[in-house]
Amino acid sequence: MAWNVFRFCTALRGLGSIMILLVLGVVGVTYYAVVLTSYGPTLINGSGILDALIALAVLVLFHCLLVMLLWSYFSVVFTDPGSVPPNWKPDLDEERDDTDPLTASEFGASPADSTNPRVRFCKKCNQLKPPRCHHCSVCGRCVLKMDHHCVWVVNCVGALNYKYFLLFLFYTFLETTLVTLALLPQFIAFFSDGEIPGTPGTLATTFLAFVFNLAFALSVLGFLIMHISLVAGNTTTIEAYEKKTTPKWRYDLGRKRNFEQVFGLDKQYWFIPSYSEEDLRRMPALHGLEYPSKPELESQEF
């Protein structure tokens, strides 16, 4: 039997909102180091116009990225990833003989639909499951197009907040990279023989902010690259794990359409954690219940 890493997710339940406080704590330390002790005073008391302009550019970019980071983060935290509607049943066009390749051992056909292998049934929730839906042991419910349960957002990442999660990773990487570069001169100064201005407290805060942001930048970059590859193939973390060596993935519609199923068609909304009303109306996939597959390409219209 393959080792199922997802069964250990139940241990995450006890962390609760502590992770949110940890994120806000890192943001607070970073803000103090960048704005209050480094570039804020430089902008106000800068010895030259060049120093003031550099400080202004850093502060403006820092605050813009911080706003987008927090907006995306709390959008993931407070947005329901998608639940199965009460008494949900598949439409007739979903009941084709195209068997879903992701039928895990915990799922079985319901008595009423035992002749249809594509209609899945969750024994834990005692309900039918839409395509690409999985049961979350942490949340105790089925989640539409579940990717994973994220301890950092204290929520599942699913159909309705996956875009917000990707934007959170994107803006976190940009912000932490900016902070790392901005605090690099002060970090190098720690190991120099010259005298460093500031109190021991501010110096320690700057040092911690640099180390934290460098660590987050490197780790988030790995996650960002992984999820970019998942979006390009129109799959999720769970699906990539479960399908293993499946040669073809029927939800892979090409990189462009795969991207649109997550970010929508309206380019003005690609980089903000929201969707346009037009996209929500024209693209059923954004609601997490219907997903076009390769046999349906000719009849599927957004």
Cβ atoms of 144 and 159 within 8 Å: the answer is yes
Say how far apart CA 32 and CA 40 lie, in whole Å. Answer: 10
Cβ atoms of 38 and 186 within 8 Å: the answer is yes
Q: Determine the straight-line distance between the first and last CA of the chain, rounded to whole angstroms.
A: 41
SS3 category, 124: coil
Token pair belonging to 120: 């899945």
CB burial class (10 A; 0-12, 13-18, 19+) of residue 199? exposed
What is the length of the chain?
302
Which residue's entry shows tokens 């993931």?
76
Token pair belonging to 33: 């180091």
Cβ atoms of 92 and 191 within 8 Å: the answer is no
Q: Which residues pair with 155 in a beta bridge?
A: 150
Cβ atoms of 77 and 155 within 8 Å: the answer is yes
Say how far apart CA 267 and CA 167 lie, in whole Å. Answer: 14
Sign of the Cα torsion 96, 97, 103, 106 reads positive
Helix residue ranges per DSSP H, 18-96: 18-31, 40-45, 49-78
Q: Is 150 a catalytic residue?
A: yes
Q: Catalytic: which of 122, 133, 136, 150?
A: 150
Q: How far is CA 223 from CA 9, 84, 217, in A?
A: 18, 28, 10
DSSP run (H or E) holding 150: strand 148-150
What residues are labeled active site? 150
